[in-house]
A = this chain, B = another copy of it.
């Protein structure tokens, strides 16, 4: 077996505010043959996601912070190149949390490895519509948001990987859907996914504009809000919520890079009188839904009801640029880095 090396990315420095390319550093590392219970994998795709920004702060969170000089982590798909584990063989397609590198050797449990089923999907889909962002949309809408047929659903960041799946699942479930996105191009994407109303938040211009647009789109108010951005979107959703509305708090990208004290929803008091439920969630707590999710997603994609877009950057050297692009609106749909 010839010697395998990997290009690995780590933090060179903790980003302050908006991350920049110089906050990242790459190096070549040797990848050993698998020891007993391990597998060796060459990644073919890796994912960049907004939540990774949170792990770049040195603070207590639900996942430990990235350490300076340690290889970053994230979703990746790859092929097994050597196996010393009874459940895996060379050629198996696997999902893992060992992204930000081109190859690795590890015990499957330690790397959160899942063997991927053969349901006719391209490899990259497992990092998007049929992967973590897809399951995030699915669990957030159906379980956290307690979606019911006929609900009016509001989703922010509707052109993103999670948001675009939220729009389509809600439509499949017979709901009225209002989505926000920034700029005409992204709004057209959201419209093409089947959203009933699309709000360009850059045109709406803050809280008052968002509220006016929501009240016009949904005069009776909204039943479910799927929050990807926080900030004014969250306050506007509170303002437009019907009694007993459910908010699935998935991410607050508007706040990820703020260095000052962010402002919270000034109208949170309405949560009492309207009996709103605002519930944060992370996808790993809903991994038990994966089999139902995979089955539904395969069915919806086969029938043409579920579409997905990807923005692909080529080569491991583009990984930091792809990540930075998440915060400047460079992507439509899932942002991916193609490695294989």
Contact = CB atoms under 8 A, between A and B. Distances in A.
A184 interface: no
Interface of A: 54, 61-62, 230, 234-235, 243, 249-252, 255, 261-282, 285
A270 B265 CA distance: 13
A308 to B, nearest CB: 23
Contacts of A278: 271, 277-279
B285 A281 contact: no
The number of times this chain is found in the oligomer is: 2
Contacts of A273: 54, 61-62, 280, 282
25 contacts: A54-B273, A61-B273, A62-B243, A62-B274, A230-B268, A230-B269, A234-B268, A249-B272, A252-B269, A263-B264, A263-B266, A264-B266, A265-B265, A268-B268, A270-B280, A271-B280, A272-B280, A272-B282, A275-B280, A275-B281, A275-B282, A276-B279, A277-B277, A277-B280, A278-B278
A241 to B, nearest CB: 10
Given A250-B272, A277-B277, 15 more contacts: A54-B273, A62-B243, A62-B274, A230-B269, A261-B266, A262-B269, A263-B264, A263-B266, A271-B278, A272-B280, A272-B281, A275-B280, A276-B279, A277-B279, A278-B279
Contacts of A250: 272
Contacts of A62: 243, 273-275
A127 to B, nearest CB: 21
A267 B269 contact: no
A133 to B, nearest CB: 15
Nearest to A266: B264
Contacts of A243: 62
Nearest to A258: B269
Nearest to A285: B275
A211 to B, nearest CB: 13
A264 B280 contact: no
Nearest to A246: B279
Contact of A264 (B249, B268, B274, B279): B268
